[in-house]
Amino acid sequence: MPLIDSPLAAAASVPDGWRIVLIAAIVLGVVVLPLVAALDIARSRRRRPAAPLPDDMTGPLLLRAPAATRGVGQPTVGPLDPMGAWAVDRVLRVLATACRQTGRPFPALAVAEVDPARVVLRLAVPDDRPAEPWTASENGRVWTAAFLALQAAPVDLAVPVPDRRLVSLGAVDDTRILLDLGQCHGIVAVTGPGPALRTLARTWLAELSANAWSAKVPLVAAGFGADGPGGAVAVRDAAAALDSLGTPEAGTPSGVVILAEPPQARVAAALAEVVAAPGRDGWSVVAFGGAAGARWEFTLHPDGRLDTGVLGIVTRAPLAAAS
């Protein structure tokens, strides 16, 4: 009997009635099933693990970049440059115009991810009715739009953009990540090497003072001396920052307090209490060097990674000199 040395040879030896069935089974086992398995493996490798979320930011499944593969050995990131700031401002104006045209409120933006191809908005409050040209995913927690669509979308300069307290967290690969401190009610403590902390603090101060979306946000800078930007109220230390807040008045916009040094425990507690009081809701305090009882804890590592803890975001921090 001749040897059968291939699956097709085996099929040739089968009676005609079963030959088609056998060939179909061979194709399914040799071609289709391995291809499906390979696609499933590729999809699983692309999935990013979801980070647990704090109770008052129930919307976004935020981006976590594994420390072993991202942010290490890559070039240092600089602050958001003028072109990047223009792009973010354009995104906000397109969004505000679309919301006005459709009679809907501006979404509760928590994180913006901007890369050369698209913009992703992660919302603090889910909303599954996105404005054009956005599409919603993850049960309304994420809105996505292509940059080309945003460039073609109309902008009405008469439509005001709600104040945003967006600061640059840095980058993950080619994606720039911005966080709205307005969604981080309470104290944000940032710990890490002193010189790097100082650089990051100055970067955030400069961004909050200069960018169009935050230029009208009240800003208090404590402990920076002559380094504080012109748009901020400069005070000596955290205790003076607490005093500067005074008594809230109706209609007064909420803002950001940036502390260059860790506050004493009693001052930190008093700040947390004041900014959480009625009329202060929405104020944020960022304490570089740490703060007792902080609601949010970010870590700036010696290699330049910025880890936002429970927010689930790890980036290359914007520590390079502005270009």
Annotate 60-111 with DSSP letters as a single string.
-------TTTSSSSSPPB-PPPHHHHHHHHHHHHHHHHHHHHHT-PPP-EEE
What average pLDDT is seen over the chain? 79
Which pLDDT value is given to residue 37? 41
Give me the percent of the chain exceeding a pLDDT of 90: 58
Per-residue pLDDT of 165-180, as tens digits, reads 999 999 999 899 999 9
Per-residue pLDDT of 14-23, as tens digits, reads 444 434 433 4
Contact 154, 97 (CB under 8 A): yes
pLDDT bin (cut points 50, 70, 90) of residue 247 is low
- The lowest-confidence range among 152-156, 233-237, 276-280, 306-310 is 276-280
Between 238-245 and 265-276, two packed helices, what is the crossing angle to 10 degrees?
Answer: 20
